[in-house]
């Protein structure tokens, strides 16, 4: 008789399935948290000055100096409008140009 039982039972197989399922669940939760925190837009309304009207939409400048595309607008260059601005676009632009 051997002192070590080498038989693999159903409980060992079931534990492996729970561990793998738990790892997949943790990965899915982490992916969802990343998408919600870093990728989702953080929009707010800001008063901006239209600096150009193009086919792709109006290009406006925020008061802190960032140029953003605000989409279609019916105003002339130099006018001020209230527009939805994504805060994270400013953060990404500042990260790409750290000297400003």
DSSP collapsed to 3 states, the chain: CCCCCCCCCHHHHHHHHHHHHHHHHHHHHHHHHHHHHHHCCCEEEEEEEEEEEECCEEEEECCCCCEEEEECCCCCCCCEEEEEEEHHHHHHHHHHCCCC
Predicted local confidence at residue 9, as pLDDT: 58
Q: Please name which of 87, 59, 85, 86 lies closest in space to residue 72, comparing C-alpha atoms.
A: 59
8 Å CB contact between 49 and 65? no
What is the model's pTM? 0.56
What mean pLDDT is predicted for residues 54-61?
89
Residue 74 has pLDDT above 70, yes or no: yes
List all residues 6 or more positions away from 77 whose beta carbon is below 8 Å from its beta carbon. Answer: 50, 51, 52, 53
Enter the tokens of residue 18: 């729970």
Predicted local confidence at residue 73, as pLDDT: 86
């Amino acid at each position: 008789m051997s002192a070590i039982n080498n038989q693999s039972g159903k409980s060992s197989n079931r534990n492996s399935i729970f561990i793998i399922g738990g790892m997949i669940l943790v990965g899915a939760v982490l992916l969802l948290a990343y998408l919600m925190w870093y990728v989702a837009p953080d929009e707010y309304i800001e008063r901006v000055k239209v600096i150009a009207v193009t086919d792709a939409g109006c290009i406006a400048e925020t008061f802190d100096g960032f140029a953003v595309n605000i989409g279609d607008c019916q105003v002339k260059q130099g006018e001020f409008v209230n527009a939805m601005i994504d805060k994270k676009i400013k953060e990404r632009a500042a990260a790409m140009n750290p000297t400003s």
